[in-house]
Structure 1
């Protein structure tokens, strides 16, 4: 399966390099765009769940790396949940 990385910036400017086992991320995010925090988390959840399900269909088990990445995104997003205007920038894709 074609895996990829996507580079994001959290509301405080902290960069993070995220992992997906599938190019499905490209269907949900656009490089150079920013997303309200909760929308970013929701789109990440959808995309990474689909990516993990694709791994399960092919190899018989979900992708633990995709699920771990989603858990990191959700945990980090909690730090910014009190800020009503918090947004996450998607800076680039790395195929």
Structure 2
């Protein structure tokens, strides 16, 4: 199962390198795309949830790193929740 990283730019121009245990993230996010904050969160939840389930199917247990990454994303996103026009840009998938 190929590990992947996705790099995002938050509304304040800060950047985060995010971890996924699976390339399934490509089904949810595209490099160069900007997503409304809530759309990005929904996509990140879907991507990391699916990635964790792929780990479960292969190894018999969910991926705690994927869930930790999702928690970090949600924590950062909470800081922008009051900005109606907040967008997150996916810079790269690697």
TM, length-normalised to structure 2:
0.98
Q: Provide, for residues 53-89 of structure 1, a one-character-per-residue CA deviation record: whole Å limited to 9, x for no partner.
A: 0001111110011000000011111000000000000
- Partners of 1:87 and 1:65 lie apart in 2 by 25
1:1-95 matches, cutoff 5 A: 1-94=1-94
State the Cα distance separating 1:37 from its structure 2 match: 0.2
- Partners of 2:51 and 2:30 lie apart in 1 by 17
The alignment partner of 1:13 has SS state of coil
Q: What's the Cα RMSD here?
A: 0.5
- Partners of 2:46 and 2:4 lie apart in 1 by 16
State the Cα distance separating 1:12 from its structure 2 match: 0.3
TM, length-normalised to structure 1:
0.97
Unpaired runs of at least 5, structure 2: none
Q: Would you identify which runs of 4 or more consecutive aligned residues in structure 1 move more than 6 Å?
A: none
State the Cα distance separating 1:23 from its structure 2 match: 0.5
User: How many residues end up aligned between the 2 structures?
Assistant: 94
